[in-house]
Amino acid sequence: MGFAAWSALEWLALIEYELLLFAGVFFLLGAIDELAIDAIWLWRRATGKGETHCVSRSDIAHRRLLGAVAVFIPAWQEVKVIGQTLSHARDAWAQADVIFYIGCYRNDPASLQAALEGAGGDPRVRLVVHDRDGPSTKADCLNRLYRAMEQDELRRGTAVRTVLLHDAEDMVDPAALGLIDRAIDDCEFVQLPVLPIPHPQSPWVGSHYCEEFAESHGKAMVVRDALGAAIPAAGVGCAFRRSLLHNMARDNYSSDTEAGPFSGLSLTEDYELGLAIGAAGGRSRFLRVRGEDGSLVATRSYFPATLAQAVRQKSRWVHGIAFQGWDRLGWSGTLVDKWMRLRDRRGPFAAIVLLTGYTLFVLALLLTMLELAGYDRPWEPTPLLLTLLALNMAAFVWRAAMRFAFTAREYGAMEGLRAVLRIPLANIIAIMAGRRALFAYGRTLRGGDPQWEKTAHDHHPVPMAPLTPAVERAS
C-alpha cells in the first residue's frame, strides 16, 4: 500500500514515530555530555580536589592591593541602576588604588547624570563620555574606557596592574577585589562566579537564571578549569592582567572601533577574550571561594524579569557564542577545548531538539485522545524504542535532581524546588532565543552590523544612598 492511501491517523503516527526517534537520540546524546561533566565533578569531590576553599571575608576585604585596579563599567541607558551600582562598589571597595571607569554615551545624558550622583564626588571615579552616539556594541564602549585608562596612565606615569569588568547592574562582593588582586599574581585572567538574585517580582522568568548559573558556575566551569580548558569570561567579575590587554590591543588594532583589546563587532566580546587568552597560552583561573559565613564570593544582580527581555538577552548570547564564535574563533585548541566549544555552541541545535520534544508532546497527547476515542495507534513501540525512552526518562530525573541540588545549595530548598518546576519555561525561552538569534545572525550575513542589544535594568538590590561628599579612602 502506497503513502497516498494512508489515512490522516497513519500520517500522524508516522510523524510521531520519527519525531520520537530524533528527539530521543539527541536528548540522550545531550544527557551523555552532561553526565560526563557530572562524573568529573563528582570524582573531584570524592577525591577532595573539588572542595570550595573558605577565606576570611574581613581579612581579604581590607587587604592592601598589590597594584592599581581599573574597574570598567559600560553604561547605555542605565539611569535606573548605575547610580546604585557605583555607590555600592565605592563603599565595598574602599582601597585608594581602585579607579572606576564609567562609560556613557553623548546621547544618553540621563545615565551620565545618574553615574555622577553615584560617584558622590569620589576622586577615584572617572566618567568617560563616548564620542559617538549609542548604542554601538559593549566592546566598543569597553575599548573607549581602555583608551581613557591609557591616557590616565601616561599622565600619572604609572601603569594599572589589573583591569576588572563589571556591568551597570552588578552588586559587587566586598571580598572580590582582594581575592582577585592576589590571584592575578600567577595567571593572566581570573573569573569569579555569577550569582543571580531571585527576582521578587518575577519568580519564574527573572529567577530561572538562578539555577542556570548555580549549576554552570558551580559545576561546569569548575570542571572546565580542572581540565585545563580555556575559560570564557562572563563579562562581570572577570579580571585581566594589564600587560595581557596591552598585547591584545596591539594585535587587535585595525580601525577606530577596534582600538583596544575587545572585539568591537562581537556581541560576546568577553567570551571571545577569555578563549583568546587560552589560545595564546595565557593562564586562566575560575576562582570559586566562600567566606567564613558560607556565602559565595561572587557577583550578584537581578536578571531580566520579563519574557521578552529574557529572550532578547539569551538570543544575544546564542548569536555571539554559537554563530559568531563559530565564524570568528573556529575549532582550534586541544581536544578538551573542542569539546567545550561544542558545548558552548549547542544552543541553536538544542533549541531545535527542544522544539521537537514539545511538538512531540502535543502530537502524542492528540493521538492519546484519539486512542481513548476508539482510534487505535497504527504502530507499537519496539524494545529498542522503549529502552531509548527509559534512558531519557532516567536522564531527565537525574538532571532535575542535579538542578535541585545546585540551586538549593545557594538559595535553599524552596528555590531548588522552583528550579525544577521552571524547567519547561527555561526550555521555552531557549527555543525562542535560538530562533531570534538565527534571524539576527542572518541579518549580519546580509551586511548588517551587530548592535548592543542590551537588557533593560529596572531594579537594583541596593537602594540608592544619599549623595555625600567623598570620604577618606583606605590606603
The domain boundary residue, chosen from 251, 276, 303: 303
pLDDT for the residue 369: 84
On whether residue 333 sits in a domain, the answer given is yes
Does 174 lie in the same domain as 147? yes
Peptide bond into 135 cis (omega under 30): yes
Are 346 and 30 a contacting pair, CB within 8 Å?
yes
Q: Is 378 left (phi over 0), alpha (psi -120 to 50) or beta?
A: alpha
Predicted TM-score (pTM) of the model is 0.90
What pLDDT is recorded for position 370?
A: 80
Report if residue 464 sits inside a domain.
Answer: no
* Structural domain boundaries enclosing 82: 53-192+237-303
Q: Is 430 exposed, middle or buried (0-12, 13-18, 19+ CB in 10 A)?
A: buried
Residues 299 and 363 reside in one and the same domain: no
Report strand pairing: 238-241 vs 289-291. unpaired
Q: What is the pLDDT of residue 142?
A: 94
Q: Are residues 334 and 278 in the same domain?
A: no
Mean pLDDT computed over 181-203: 93
The CB density around residue 319, as the number of other CB atoms within 10 Å, is 28
Output DSSP code: residue 337: H
Query: Using one digit for the tens of pLDDT, what is the confidence trace for 253-275?
Result: 654 445 789 987 788 888 988 99
Tracing cell 492528540 back to the chain, one arrives at 366
Residue 80 within a domain: yes
Cell (9 digits) for 212: 542556570
Domain holding 187: CATH number?
3.90.550.10
Task: Yes or no: say if 316 and 268 are a contact pair by the CB < 8 Å rule.
Answer: yes
- Identify the domain boundary among 264, 283, 303: 303
Which has the closest alpha carbon to 196: 406, 398, 342? 406
Q: What's the whole-number average pLDDT of the chain? A: 89
Asked if 75 and 29 sit in the same domain, the reply is no
Q: Check pLDDT > 50 for residue 469.
A: no
Same domain, 47 and 109: no
Report yes or no on 360 lying in a domain: yes
62 and 36 in a single domain? The answer is no
Residue 203 lies in a domain: no
Contact 249, 260 (CB under 8 A): yes
**DSSP state string for 374-391:** T---S----HHHHHHHHH
Does 130 lie in the same domain as 104?
A: yes
The reply to whether 158 and 96 lie within a common domain is: yes
Q: What pLDDT score does 463 carry?
A: 66
Q: Cell for 36?
A: 560526563
Select, from the ranges 66-80, 373-387, 444-458, the one with the highest average predicted confidence (pLDDT).
66-80
Q: Is the sign of the CA dihedral 446, 447, 450, 451 positive or negative?
A: negative
Give the pLDDT band of residue 248 (cuts 50, 70, 90): confident
d(CA 332, CA 320): 17
When divided into structural domains, the chain yields a total of: 2
Length of the chain: 475
78 with 178, same domain? yes
* Distance, CA of 324 to CA of 440 (rounded, Å): 11
334 vs 372, residue with greater confidence: 334
Same domain for 26 and 147, yes or no, is no
Q: What is the distance of C-alpha 408 from the center of its chain?
A: 20
Strand 69-74, strand 289-291: pairing: unpaired
